[in-house]
Amino acid sequence: MAFVGGGALAAAVSRAGGLGLIGGGYGDGEWIDEQFEAARGERVGIGFITWSAALTPSVVAASLQRNPAAVMLSFGDPMAFAADVHAARALLICQCQNLAHVRAALDAEADIVVAQGSEAGGHGADRGTFTLVPEVADMLARTSPDTMLVAAGGVADGRGLAAALALGADGVLVGTRLCASEESLVKPLHKRAIVESHGDATLRTHLQDIVRELPWPQEFTARIQRNGFVNRWHGRESELAQQVAVEGPRYRQAIADGDPENTAVWFGEAAGLIDTIEPAATIIERMVTDAANIR
């Protein structure tokens, strides 16, 4: 949710009874400050891409001065930040894609572990939500029963929430469905792409990181829409890397233009369950109500 989950969305989620997270992403300090201001004092947390935060740890330190309710670390060893997060009395949330990641989270004394399945939009790995969540639940029951478990990947409605609870999770982390909310910072045509797409419309790839020249660890791909950009370069990753001096500026201009065909459009398989753009509170309240009514 980097640069998509802003302060207004985080605040709306928290007001609706959830815990909203600002998508701190790659650590743009000025943008993060703007989003905390946009949250207007609501109890929210913030998430970081851990390997990127390690390059500019001052951004995490500055965010902790804002007294976030929680800090979520994803895609890297959380240990470097764990002590500071705990000292700030924020909850430490670690997003994990496999059991090795969970063990690292427990070593860092995470308060909450997020088991993220490959159905999720954006960066992630290979495990599916339906098997990863109960396996992590069993692991936590044996080794760290006080650690909460949250499921992510493919959750967009009450059925997904109820299923996650049945699998052993204590709650869910919702991305794609909230990208298609009124408060998200997703470009209008990208929101429309989510609403008009289905679960077959995405794939996992490195293309978006190659064109942006971001040094993502190879174990992580990202789920994005199959669009003009993907169709043009899928299977031609080496060629894209060779032409990045030309293609990179084109890509960045397409982002600025909100072009849904010539950039990565970030969403997961849950797009097939979304047909409207609604306020975050409406989405959350219906999800909880529908889950409670499932027998």
Asked if the structure places residue 120 within a domain, the reply is yes
Q: In 123-159, which positions are buried (b, 16+ CB within 10 angstroms) versus exposed (e)?
A: bbbebebeebbbbbbebbeeebeebbbbbbbbbbbbe
Please check whether residues 97 and 52 belong to one and the same domain. yes
pLDDT at site 295: 75
Please check whether residues 157 and 219 belong to one and the same domain. no
Asked if the structure places residue 77 within a domain, the reply is yes
Please check whether residues 113 and 40 belong to one and the same domain. yes
Please check whether residues 139 and 90 belong to one and the same domain. yes
Backbone angles phi, psi at 156, to 5 degrees: -135, -5
Rounded Cα distance between 115 and 101, Å, is 9
Asked if the structure places residue 1 within a domain, the reply is no
Asked if the structure places residue 269 within a domain, the reply is no
Q: What is the mean pLDDT of each run of 10 residues along the chain (295 residues)?
A: 94 98 94 96 97 96 97 97 98 98 98 98 97 98 98 98 98 98 97 96 98 97 98 97 97 95 97 98 98 92
Question: What does the chain look like in DSSP terms, one character per residue?
Answer: -TTTS-HHHHHHHHHTTS--EEE-TTT-HHHHHHHHHHTTT---EEEEEHHHHTT-HHHHHHHHTT--SEEEEESS-THHHHHHHHHTTPEEEEEESSHHHHHHHHHTT-SEEEEE-TTSSEEE-S--HHHHHHHHHHHHHHH-TTSEEEEESS--SHHHHHHHHHTT-SEEE--HHHHTBTTS---HHHHHHHHH--TTSEEEESHHHHHHT----TT-EEEEE-SHHHHHHTT-HHHHHHTHHHHHHHHHHHHHHT-SSSS--B--GGGGG----B-HHHHHHHHHHHHHT--
Tokens read off for 168: 């052993």
Asked if the structure places residue 2 within a domain, the reply is no
- Structural contact between residues 265 and 193, judged by C-beta atoms closer than 8 angstroms: yes
Please check whether residues 164 and 231 belong to one and the same domain. no
Please check whether residues 75 and 212 belong to one and the same domain. no
Comparing CA positions, the residue from 183, 186, 157 lying closest to residue 281 is 183
pLDDT at site 3: 86
Give CA angle at 29 (25, 34), nearest 5°. 95
Please check whether residues 250 and 108 belong to one and the same domain. no
The CATH number assigned to the domain holding 111 equals 3.20.20.70
Q: What is the total count of domains within the chain?
A: 2
Please check whether residues 141 and 278 belong to one and the same domain. yes
Please check whether residues 280 and 245 belong to one and the same domain. no
Asked if the structure places residue 266 within a domain, the reply is no
Domain holding 27, by residue range, is 7-185+274-292
- Structural contact between residues 132 and 150, judged by C-beta atoms closer than 8 angstroms: no
Asked if the structure places residue 265 within a domain, the reply is no
Tokens read off for 36: 């905390």
- Structural contact between residues 133 and 167, judged by C-beta atoms closer than 8 angstroms: yes
Please check whether residues 93 and 160 belong to one and the same domain. yes
Comparing CA positions, the residue from 234, 225, 222 lying closest to residue 260 is 225
Please check whether residues 162 and 140 belong to one and the same domain. yes
Please check whether residues 39 and 71 belong to one and the same domain. yes
Asked if the structure places residue 81 within a domain, the reply is yes
